[in-house]
Structure 1
Amino acid sequence: MQFEFVIVDWAAYGAGLLQQQDWLDWAREAPRLPAPLIDVVPPLTEMAPMMRRRVDRLGRLACQVAYWCKPEGAPAMPMVFASRYGDAGRSLHLLGDLAQEQALSPTGFGLSVHNAISALYSIACGDTQNTVVVTAGRATVLAALTEAAALLADGAEEVLIVYYEAPLPPPYDQFEDQPALEYAWAWRVAAPSKVSRPEGHVVQVRVGPADGAPHPDLGDTRHWPAGLAVLRHMLRQTLSIDGAHSPAWVRSDRAGSQWFWGAAHA
């Protein structure tokens, strides 16, 4: 399976990395992971206060980058929200209430489901477009890109992808199998055929058996969280000079499965 899309705009939020230039500088350096936890929670001033008070820490990360990437006045579009674990803290709190034989909060339950963050964002924006929420273990970012490509192939002019992660709370944290960090990013993507003069970056993804080993790319990011590794690779393509894109990059997210990530000229 192979697909292409144009990244029309992007935004990201992490520890000490708030503006686009911060992230570009980070991608230009030798690979280093951001700090695990952010110091400043996004203010999310774009959202009405009564709605904003229902959005927790992880939700603020996701909604903030979505607002930045799809500013007010932008046309409505399908959305793909993706997170490996989502808001696990809310679910753990509900399980604690059950263990203590306490009544569950209907609001708490409603906000603990995996699509709660996307629902709050959609309601706040008055957006009734199709929204897909995915989780697929280490391959979650790949699943998100595949869903976006399918929506574009189905005729969508643009698709908003929002990817967000946070460390698992104790005692779930003993099951972490990758570095655990708080971060979120959003891409607004379009099919190359729908963009006459792409201002974004044309990225080609081929999914399936891949030959060759991961390219070092100034360091080894094979053990990074996949969502962060993909973001860095995209930013390094953006930084390429005179069309000299970085070599193709292969990543294995589970035994017997690899996917290929590369770049193509507009």
Structure 2
Amino acid sequence: MPDLHWTIPVGRWSSWPATASAAPDIGFIDPIVRRRLSTLSKVALKVAHDCVAAEPVRVVFASRHGELRRTTDILRSISAGEPVSPTAFSLSVLNAMTGVFGIARGDRSAASAVSAGAETLGYALLEAYAQYQSQADEPVLLVYADEPADLAYGTIEDEVQGGALALLIDAAAPAGQLLCALTQPRDVCAAPAADATRFPTQSQALLHCLETGQPACWQRAGARWHWSWDARAA
């Protein structure tokens, strides 16, 4: 695969740490729906809501595991011969959050979901950029939310940290530019990536870049992802 480099105009961004003790405020969701949502969907909806106003927005939702914990509970119920809630089943799909978000906002804009293993966030950024490039006059909202898999699945390689992150891709009033790169191992020591701090997960790397303005990267066999921030482009 050829090396890829692309630049994303970020209008707003928001994050929610996995270590947060307080529950996310999602008062914009109907109470009947709200109490049925998982923690994963709640934090995803929180950061998504932080980034958008009333305007329509396309959504790219990304999660390595998605609602795997809910699905696992459903499988356990089936195994025990217990009834399965239709609501639990309908909310167990990967893109459940995008449906709830669109209904709550009355927004019929396109929504998609991405899951690509440990590289989920990186490829979701690429998908969001591609959608933005296809129609640059309409913003795209990227929402990433994840949580570690149930212990029943054993040790997961490059396991996620958890938490949620959202970025509004909008050239109308950018807070800055996010410079993204996906390169092959031969470029590990090449500038400008050589000074980037490495992180164990993509979400940690990207959040470090957004919070500090410093370059960050994540690497595994065959691929190196690098992010840097340019506030001067705002």
- Superposition TM-score, scaled by structure 2 size: 0.86
Give 1:255's aligned amino acid.
Answer: A
Give CA deviations for 1:128-185 in whole Å, capped at 9, x if unaligned.
Answer: 100011110111011110111111111042111111111222212x223346543111
Tell me by how many angstroms 1:234 deviates.
2.2
Shift, 1:48, TM fit = 1.7
2:211 equivalent to 1:235? yes
Give the stretch that moved more between structures: 43-52 or 136-145.
43-52
Q: Does 1:203 pair with 2:153? A: no
Is residue 146 of structure 2 the alignment partner of residue 170 of structure 1?
no
Query: What is the identity, as a one-letter code, of the residue corresponding to 2:57?
Result: M
Partner of 2:135: 155
Name the SS of the counterpart of 2:151 in structure 1. Answer: coil
After superposition, residues 1-266 of structure 1 pair within 5 angstroms as 1-15=4-18, 37-71=19-53, 73=54, 75-156=55-136, 157-172=138-153, 174-178=154-158, 180-190=160-170, 194-195=171-172, 198-209=173-184, 211-213=187-189, 215=194, 221-223=198-200, 225-237=201-213, 246=214, 249-252=216-219, 254-264=220-230, 265-266=232-233
Q: 1:176 to 1:41 in 2, by over 3 A?
A: farther
Consecutive unaligned residues of structure 2, counting only runs of 5 or more, are none
Provide structure 1 residue ranges, at least 5 long, that are not aligned to the other structure: 16-36, 238-245
Deviation per CA, 1:223-250, whole angstroms, max 9, x where unpaired?
2x2112211112221xxxxxxxx4x544
SS at match of 2:72: helix
Q: CA deviation at 1:199?
A: 4.1
Partner amino acid, structure 1, of 2:65 = Y
Using a 3 Å threshold, how does the CA distance of structure 1 residues 180 and 142 change in structure 2: closer, same or farther?
Answer: closer
Deviations 1:88-131 (A, max 9, x none): 11111111122123343322211111111221111111111000
Deviation (angstroms), 1:260: 3.1
Cα separation, 1, equivalents of 2:77 and 2:195: 47
Size of the aligned set, in residue pairs, is 224
Equivalent pair of 1:13/1:183 in contact (CA under 8 Å): yes
Seen in structure 2, the aligned counterparts of structure 1 residues 260 and 182 have a Cα distance that, compared at 3 Å, is: closer
Between the two proteins, what is the percent identity of the paired residues?
A: 27
SS in 1 for 2:116: coil
Name the Cα RMSD after superposition: 2.1
* Contact 1:212–1:250 (CA under 8 A) maintained in structure 2: no
